[in-house]
Amino acid sequence: MRMRSGDPREMRAGRSTGEAVRTSGVQYSERSRGAAPRRARIWGAMVAAMLVLVAVLLAAVGCGTNQKATPSASPARIAVTDDAGRAFTLQKPATRIVSLAPAQTEMVYAVGAGDRVVGVSDFCDYPQDAKDVDKVGDFANPNVEKIISLKPDLVLAASGVQSDAAARLDELNVPVVVLDPATLDGVFEDLEKLGLLVGEQAKAKALVDSLRAAAKDVETRISGRQQLKVFFEIYSKPLMTAGKGTLIEDLVRRAGGANIGSSAGVGYPEFSQEVLITEDPDVYIAVAGAQADPGDIAKRPAYNQLTAVKEGRVFVIEDNLVVRSGPRALQGLRQIAAFLHPDAFEGSE
């Protein structure tokens, strides 16, 4: 047993011998003097044992600590490639979003991040809540200074005319992502991409799943039906159409039609009336705003020669459903398919 200095038992043992030896100013009894080496050996053994025990405990604690302290993966950075082919990274989901185009604005609200939109273009009018958000200029000339003042951590831009504005924002270290899909599959991909950027992956996936199901329904309904020639009028004076590489071309194809405007080039080219008469579309579709009244189309010079006019297959569609590359494009697809194959949609809403 360890004998502490001042322990009553040690003090009593010293008094019982009656003889004390003075060594270095400390008194030991003869008996205690003989026991010193023995105590030293005991002390040494005890200290060694304690050191071993401490080492074992530290090793055990250390192992446990290492297991708990293994660096967990830091929150994964959000990395995407935008529609301009640029790699883009965010450290965390965006909380202050500026959208420079109506289609992108519709996408943000559709994936559940509308409450984080702090700026939109003058033309962003859907959904209704977007009308109350701060405006950052028109589609072609966004106000860069206004955008910067809103301190966004994500700016959504289109390609084409917005490329210069996007480049300037890049130079000022404002994070810009270009989302400008030209196909329905591209819309689906960009919705999922946007869901990732704003931390709403589950909502985005659920939305895309429902949109894919709607597209599949159209595909099933028109399966095996004759492909019809379609002319899509974007503007009347001069006559302009939807050419290659446009969302409209993809929608027409999916709806069971062949877009004759593809022969005029990419984008939205002008189209010759003489070629139109020669091509003779089965179905003529005009976007609302270009030529709102199908009756007016039928009265144009030489248009009475068109099969579409003769058979009363001239239609008008809301431009936002086919020009904006957003979730409402599925409504556009269904309407176009119903124009081409009305019997396939009888009895459905």
Q: Which helix (H) or strand (E) holds 268?
A: none
**Closest residue by Cα to residue 124 from 145, 108, 144:** 108
At residue 56, what is the residue type? V
Q: Which two tokens stand for residue 42?
A: 């005991």
List Cβ<8 Å contacts ≥24 apart for 303-310. Answer: 305/277, 305/280, 306/276, 306/277, 306/280, 306/281, 307/280, 307/281, 307/282, 308/231, 308/281, 308/282, 308/283, 308/284, 309/284
Question: So what's the pLDDT on residue 201?
Answer: 97
The 8-class DSSP code of residue 323 comes to S
Question: So what's the pLDDT on residue 288?
Answer: 84
| pLDDT tens, position by position, 153-210 | 999 999 988 999 999 999 999 999 999 999 999 999 999 999 999 999 999 999 999 9
Q: What angle do CA 340, 345, 349 make, to 5 degrees?
A: 125
Question: So what's the pLDDT on residue 180?
Answer: 94
Question: So what's the pLDDT on residue 131?
Answer: 96
Q: Helices (DSSP H) in the chain: which residue ranges?
A: 8-17, 30-69, 102-110, 144-149, 163-171, 184-197, 201-222, 247-254, 273-279, 294-298, 307-310, 329-340
Distance between CA atoms of 246 and 242, rounded to whole angstroms? 7
What are the residues facing 259 on neighbouring strands? 230
| pLDDT tens, position by position, 96-127 | 999 999 999 999 999 999 999 999 999 999 99
Q: Is the Cβ–Cβ distance between 20 and 31 less than 8 Å? A: no
Question: So what's the pLDDT on residue 236?
Answer: 87
Q: What angle do CA 148, 151, 152 make, to 5 degrees?
A: 100
- pLDDT means per 10 residues, the chain with 349 residues, are 36 34 35 46 50 41 36 62 93 97 97 98 96 95 95 95 91 94 97 97 98 98 96 92 97 98 96 96 86 73 95 94 96 98 87
Residue 341 — φ and ψ, nearest 5°?
-135, 70
Q: Is the Cβ–Cβ distance between 312 and 304 less than 8 Å? A: no
With tokens 């004390």, the residue in question is 20
Question: So what's the pLDDT on residue 129?
Answer: 97
- Could you tell me the sign of the dihedral formed by the alpha carbons of 251, 254, 255, 258, in that order? positive
Question: So what's the pLDDT on residue 289?
Answer: 60
What percentage of the chain reaches a pLDDT higher than 70?
76
